[in-house]
Structure 1
Amino acid sequence: MNLKGRPLRLPLWPLPLVYVGVSIVCAFVLPRLERTYLADVHLGIAVSSAQAMLSAIASGMIALTGFVFALAFVMVQFSAVAYSPRLVAWLSRDPTTFHSLGIFNATFVYAIAALAWVDRDGSGEVPAFSMLLVTVLLLLSIIAFARLVQRINDIQIANVLAFIGREGRETLRTMFQRLDASGAAAADSWKRAAEEMSRRPVTQTLHYPDEPFTVARFEIGTLVRLAREADAVIVIECAVGDTLVENTVLMRVYGGTRPLDETRLRRTLHLARERTFEQDPKYPLRLLVDIAIKALSPAINDPTTAVQALDQIEDLLRRLGRRVLDAGCVHDEQGVLRLVFPTPSWEDYLTLAFDEIRQYGSGSVQVMRRLRAALFGLADALTEAERKATVLRYIEHLNLVVEHSVLDAEDQTIALQQDPQGLGLTRRETERRGPRAA
C-alpha cells in the first residue's frame, strides 16, 4: 500500500480575502510611488474620461460579481438536486469560483483607489500606471469570468461522471497494488495478521468522545511509526467513510513495551462532516450509484444517465479486480506487522456498485442490458477464480430479477441480452443467460 497518500487540500475561503488584502496594500502604496517617480508619464486621457472609466469599472464589477455568483449557486443547487446532494461539496470547493471572486473584488478595490488619485489636489493629473493596472485587472476579470462560465458548463452529466471516475481511479492507484506486482504473500495477509494479533494482549482501547463526524483519512505513516516505537500492533476498528458517534471504539493497541499517547493516536484520525475521495475507494462508487438510482426514479425517469454511470462503475470495478484488496495490513521496514484497518472485500464492492441499480432498474430494458454487459465483461476481465465466481453469481441473480420483473416475456428476452450501450447493438454471439452457459 502507498503510505503517503494525497496531501490535504487547504481551505479555499481565505483566497478572496488574500486578493482583497493585496489590492488594498497596492492601493495605498503604488499610487504614492507613482506620483513620486512617474509624475512625468502621461496617457493623454482627460480627467473626466478617466473618472468615468474608473467609475464604470468599479460599479460594473460589483454588479458582475453579484450576477455571476447568483447564477453559479443556482446551477450548483440544481445539479445537486438532479445528481446527488453529496456533489455539492465538490462543486462548492471549486478553486475557480474563489479565484474569480478574489479577482473581481481586487479589481473593484483598486479601481476605487485609482479614482481617488485622479485630479488629486486639483492637479489635473491622471495616474498612468494605475490606469494601466486597472485595465489589466479588468482583462483578468474577463478571463476569470470566461473560465467560471466554462466550469459551470462542466456540471453537465458527462463531465460530472468523468470527474468522479477520475477521482476514483486516482484513489485506487494510490491505495492498492496490482495483483501481478504484489507477490504471493499478499493473498494471506489478513490470516497472518490475525495470527500475529492472537499472540498479543489488548493493552489499550480508544473510544470516540465527540459529536458525530465522518472518518476522512488515517495518517498511516504516523501510526506505523508510533506502533514501531512501542513494539505494538495498532488495529483501527472504524473504516474510512464511517460516521463516528459517542463511545465508538476507534482503535485497539495489541502488545507494546509502553502505553501509546492517546492524544497523538486520536490526531492520526482525520474527521470531516462528509466523506472524501482520499483513502475511500467506495466513495466514487457511492456517488455514481446515487446518480444512477436518482436518474431511475419516477420523478426523473432517465435510464440513459444510469447507463452512463454504469460505464464509469464498470471501469472502476475492472481496475479493482486487478488489485490486491487486502490493503489494510501495513508492515514496517523490517516486515513486522504494525497497523491493521478494515477495508472492503470484493463482494462489498459488487454489492455497492450493482445491488441498488438492479433493484431500481429492474423495469428498464436499457438498464438491464447494460448491467448484464458490465457483469459479463467484468467476469471475462478477472483473473482470480474466487472473484470471477462472485460475479457469475451476480449474473445468475440478475437473471432471476429479470424473470420476476414487470417485463413481459418478449421484453425479458431482450433484457437478457448484452448491450454496452443499453439499447444499441445486440451482441448475438454472446447471448448467455448465466454462468451455467458460460
Structure 2
Amino acid sequence: MNESGSPTLFRRPRRRLRAELAQILCAVVGLVGGLALPALPPSPAVLSKDIIGALFTIGFGVIGLASVVFSLLFLVVQFTSGTFTPRLNLFSDDPIVWRTFAFAVGVFIYTITAALAVAHRGRVSVVVPVVALLLALVAALLMRTVQLHAFVFIRLTPCLDEINQRTRRVHDAVYSAPYRDTPGEPVDLPAPVMPIRWSGRPVVLQQINVPALLTAATDHDVVIALRVPIGGQLFEGDLLAEVHQHAIPDQLLLRNTLTGRERTFDQDVTFGLRLLADIALRALSTAVNDPATAVQSLEQIHDLLRRLAGKELDIGYVADARARVRLVIPLPTWDDYLRLALDEVIVAASHSPMVLVRLRDLLLGLYDEVPRPRSSSVADRLRLVEDRLRSDFPREISA
C-alpha cells in the first residue's frame, strides 16, 4: 500500500466540452461574425450583389459536404463495433469528430447570416468574403483529417497501437513507483459511519478528482473509501463510497466524480486490456476464426503486462501531508490484471495452436521478468497452457 502526501494518483478529470455545447458555441460565433463583419467600413470594398450568391454557395456547400462525410463515417463506427469489439470508441469518442461538425455548423451560420446582412447594402468590406473562403478551407481540412482518422481506425494494427498508447498513458499516470519487495503496513480504517449511494440512471464511473477529494477529506477530517472502481457500473442504489469517522454532505463526493454511459481511457487502468482481450476473443470465436488477429492482440497485451510487472500496484491508499490516509481507491492487483487479460483467452484458444504458442511465449517472458512474489500466478497459467499444448498439439510443445 502506498501512502503519499501528494495527490499524484490520477490527473485532474478532463471534462470535455459536450458536442451540443460545441455546436452552440460555434453557431453563436458564426452568428455574431455574420452580423459584425458586414458592418465594417467598406474599404477595400466589393459589391454586395457579387458576393451574396458566393456566400450562400459556400455555406450550403460546407454543410452539405459535412453531412455526407459524417453519414459515411457512421459506417466506420458500425464496422469497428462489428469487427473488433462493441466497446471500442476510439473514433466516435475522438473530439475532432464532433468539433469538426460544430465548425461546419458555425461556417454555415456565418455565411448565411452575412449574406442576409449584406443584401441591403450596396458595398461591403472585402473581409466578409475572404473570411468565408478561409473558413471553408479550414472546414475542408478538418473533414479531411476526420476521414484520415476513420481510415486509421478501420485497420487492425493502427487500432491496436492506439489502444496500447492510450493505456500506457493512464498506467504511467497511476503507476509511477517501482515494485517494493517488502509490502507496506496494513492500514486500519475507522468504522464507516456514512454510506454514499448512487441515485439516477445507470452510468459508468469514468473519472474522479483525486486532488479535490483529498483536500475535502482533509478539511473535514474524514476518510473517503470508494467502493466502485474506475470503469465500474453504477445502478440506482449502489454503494458508491463510504465515509469514515463522521458524516459529510453527499455532494462533496458527487461533484468530484465524472460519470457517463461508456468507459473511457482517461483514468480507467483496465479498459485497454479489456478491449485487447475482447478483440482476441472475437477473433478466436468459431464465427470469425482468425487466430492471427488474436496473436496481434496478445502482443499488445504482453507489452502492457511487462510494463506493469515491475510497478508497485498496491497504491490505492492516498494520504495527506501528515501521512494520514484520507482517500481509498480500489485498484486491480497483479492477479486481477492477469485474469482480465489472459484467462478467457487461454480458454478460448484451446483449439488454436498458434495462439497457445504465443501465450506460452508471453508467459515464459513474464515469468523471467516479474518479481518473484508475482511469479506463481504466471507459472500457474503457463502450466495450463503447456498442458493443453502437450495433450492436443505435442509437436508444438517440442518446437
TM-score between both structures, scaled by the size of structure 2 = 0.88
**What is the match of residue 66 of structure 2?**
65
Q: Work out whether residues 10 and 267 of structure 2, in 8 Å CA contact, stay in contact via their aligned partners in 1.
A: no
Q: Work out whether residues 38 and 124 of structure 2, in 8 Å CA contact, stay in contact via their aligned partners in 1.
A: no
What amino acid sits opposite 2:259 in the alignment? L
**What is the match of residue 375 of structure 2?**
388
Q: Work out whether residues 12 and 211 of structure 2, in 8 Å CA contact, stay in contact via their aligned partners in 1.
A: no
**CA deviation after TM superposition for structure 1 residue 275, in Å:** 2.0
- Structure with the greater alpha carbon radius of gyration: 1
**What is the match of residue 424 of structure 1?**
none
1:38 to 28, 42, 61: 42
**CA deviation after TM superposition for structure 1 residue 30, in Å:** 0.8
**What is the match of residue 301 of structure 1?**
289
1:320 to 308, 317, 321: 308
1:402 to 376, 389, 398: 389
The 3 A distance-change label for structure 1 pair 65 and 222 is closer
Q: Work out whether residues 13 and 258 of structure 2, in 8 Å CA contact, stay in contact via their aligned partners in 1.
A: no
Distance in 2 of aligned mates of 1:188 and 1:227 = 26
2:186 to 188, 192, 200: 192
Distance in 1 of aligned mates of 2:345 and 2:217 = 42
**CA deviation after TM superposition for structure 1 residue 104, in Å:** 2.2
**CA deviation after TM superposition for structure 1 residue 28, in Å:** 0.8
**CA deviation after TM superposition for structure 1 residue 52, in Å:** 4.7
Give unmatched runs, 5+ long, in structure 1. 418-430, 432-438
**CA deviation after TM superposition for structure 1 residue 399, in Å:** 1.4
Distance in 1 of aligned mates of 2:281 and 2:52 = 57
What amino acid sits opposite 2:68 in the alignment? F
Q: Work out whether residues 117 and 127 of structure 1, in 8 Å CA contact, stay in contact via their aligned partners in 2.
A: no
What amino acid sits opposite 2:152 in the alignment? D
Distance in 1 of aligned mates of 2:273 and 2:125 = 57
What amino acid sits opposite 2:99 in the alignment? H
1:215 to 205, 219, 223: 205
What amino acid sits opposite 2:24 in the alignment? L
**What is the match of residue 239 of structure 1?**
229
Q: Work out whether residues 217 and 327 of structure 2, in 8 Å CA contact, stay in contact via their aligned partners in 1.
A: yes
The 3 A distance-change label for structure 1 pair 234 and 100 is closer
Spell out, residue by residue over 1:3-23, the C-alpha distance to the aligned partner (whole angstroms, 9 max, x if none).
452432323312222222111
TM-score between both structures, scaled by the size of structure 1 = 0.81
**What is the match of residue 54 of structure 1?**
55
The 3 A distance-change label for structure 1 pair 127 and 120 is farther
Within the alignment, does 1:91 sit opposite 2:86 as a pair?
A: no
2:15 to 9, 12, 18: 9
Query: Higher mean Cα deviation, 228-237 or 302-311?
Result: 228-237
**What is the match of residue 24 of structure 1?**
31
Distance in 2 of aligned mates of 1:54 and 1:12 = 29
Q: Work out whether residues 114 and 127 of structure 1, in 8 Å CA contact, stay in contact via their aligned partners in 2.
A: no
The 3 A distance-change label for structure 1 pair 51 and 310 is same
What amino acid sits opposite 1:107 in the alignment? V
What amino acid sits opposite 2:134 in the alignment? V
Give unmatched runs, 5+ long, in structure 2. none
What amino acid sits opposite 2:280 in the alignment? A
Distance in 1 of aligned mates of 2:114 and 2:254 = 52
Distance in 2 of aligned mates of 1:233 and 1:77 = 44
**What is the match of residue 421 of structure 1?**
none
Distance in 2 of aligned mates of 1:226 and 1:6 = 15
Spell out, residue by residue over 1:175-224, the C-alpha distance to the aligned partner (whole angstroms, 9 max, x if none).
113325xx66xx433x521xx23xx3333333334443222233333333
**CA deviation after TM superposition for structure 1 residue 46, in Å:** 10
What amino acid sits opposite 1:65 in the alignment? A
The 3 A distance-change label for structure 1 pair 209 and 16 is closer
Spell out, residue by residue over 1:246-287, the C-alpha distance to the aligned partner (whole angstroms, 9 max, x if none).
443333333x3x433333234444332222223321111001
Distance in 1 of aligned mates of 2:202 and 2:68 = 37
Distance in 1 of aligned mates of 2:167 and 2:83 = 21
**What is the match of residue 128 of structure 1?**
126
Aligned length in residues: 391
What amino acid sits opposite 2:243 in the alignment? V
**CA deviation after TM superposition for structure 1 residue 55, in Å:** 3.9
Q: Work out whether residues 198 and 237 of structure 2, in 8 Å CA contact, stay in contact via their aligned partners in 1.
A: yes
Distance in 2 of aligned mates of 1:400 and 1:97 = 48
Q: Work out whether residues 205 and 257 of structure 2, in 8 Å CA contact, stay in contact via their aligned partners in 1.
A: yes
Q: Aligned ranges for residues 253-332 of structure 1 at < 5 Å?
A: 253-254=243-244, 256=245, 258-332=246-320
Tell me, what secondary structure is at the counterpart of 1:204? strand
**CA deviation after TM superposition for structure 1 residue 360, in Å:** 1.7
Q: Work out whether residues 224 and 242 of structure 2, in 8 Å CA contact, stay in contact via their aligned partners in 1.
A: yes
Distance in 2 of aligned mates of 1:171 and 1:327 = 14
**CA deviation after TM superposition for structure 1 residue 42, in Å:** 4.5
Distance in 2 of aligned mates of 1:77 and 1:138 = 29
What amino acid sits opposite 2:296 in the alignment? Q
1:149 to 110, 122, 147: 147
The 3 A distance-change label for structure 1 pair 9 and 203 is closer
Tell me, what secondary structure is at the counterpart of 2:247? coil
Tell me, what secondary structure is at the counterpart of 2:351? coil
**What is the match of residue 395 of structure 2?**
413
Distance in 2 of aligned mates of 1:388 and 1:56 = 67
Tell me, what secondary structure is at the counterpart of 2:296? helix
Distance in 2 of aligned mates of 1:273 and 1:133 = 39
**What is the match of residue 172 of structure 1?**
171
Distance in 2 of aligned mates of 1:108 and 1:268 = 37
Q: Which has the higher contact order (CA 8 A, sep 6+)?
A: 2
Tell me, what secondary structure is at the counterpart of 2:186? helix
The 3 A distance-change label for structure 1 pair 105 and 253 is closer
**CA deviation after TM superposition for structure 1 residue 119, in Å:** 6.7
